[in-house]
Amino acid sequence: MKLKYFGHSAFQLTTDSNIRILIDPFLDDNPVSKIKSSEVEAEFIVFTHGHGDHVGDGLKIGKRCNSLFICVNELAEWVKSKGLKAHNMHIGGAHNFDFGKVKFTIAHHGSSTPDNQYAGEPAGVLLTINNKTIYHTGDTGLFYDMKLIGEMNPVDYMLLPIGDNFTMGIDDAVKAVELTNPKVAIPMHYNTFPVIASDPQKFKQLVEAKSKKCIVMQFGEEIVL
């Protein structure tokens, strides 16, 4: 399985059987993404919440690729109102798809769509594919239940924000890694805009000081999980 990072909170998972899952594909207006929406394809698109920097180019890509959207109920209904396909889920629920299991978690944040529709609760998402669990926290502040999430769903790769202002900053993100106890932490949601400027190498040092592993992915980089 491969994980590609576009910058901000945008990732693509490609399974061994070549199923592509996009998460929060904010590409065309993402100043740090070298890859634009016309260059990506996806069978599945996951939205953590409705904000423009997460929904991004999802609708456009979904229309072109006939993708199935996976998100919380209210946001899924909004996607359907645009004439696209969605699988409605909600926080705490899991479902098995062709590629693996998806489960939504809480996230402490807000959620509305770019056209100002109610989008339900913001969420994080756990994807379990080939016995590996990836936890994309979405936009969130630190919360103690991350400990419970990690206990109930042992996490291999935790993708979490470090940019501060809208989400956790570095210190809270280090605590989030301690609570969740993933095998590897990967920082996101930083350096896209000046207001979320953050130093991922500082985060990495602090995570490693807690005897945990951290990979700082370059914007546009793809790694094998």
Given the rule CB under 5 A, which of 18-26, 88-96, 135-143, 202-210 is the region that contacts Ni ion?
135-143
In the DSSP assignment, the letter for residue 170 is: H
121 lines the binding site for Ni ion (CB under 5 A): no
Question: Are 1 and 213 contacting, i.e. CB atoms less than 8 angstroms apart?
Answer: no
Options 105, 139, 164, 203; binder of Mn ion; rule CB under 5 A:
139
Question: Are 14 and 23 contacting, i.e. CB atoms less than 8 angstroms apart?
Answer: no
Options 24, 57, 74, 139; binder of Ni ion; rule CB under 5 A:
139
53 lines the binding site for Mn ion (CB under 5 A): yes
Per DSSP, the residues of 71-92 read EEHHHHHHHHHTT-EEEEE-BT
Count other Cβ atoms within 10 Å, centred on residue 208: 12
Q: Give how many residues touch Mn ion by CB under 5 A.
A: 2
103 binds, among Mn ion, Ni ion, none (CB under 5 to 8 A by kind): none
Name the minimum Å distance from CB 149 to Mn ion: 20
24 lines the binding site for Mn ion (CB under 5 A): no
Closest CA to 166 of 143, 136, 190: 190
57 lines the binding site for Mn ion (CB under 5 A): no
Chain residues that interact with Mn ion, rule: CB under 5 A = 53, 139
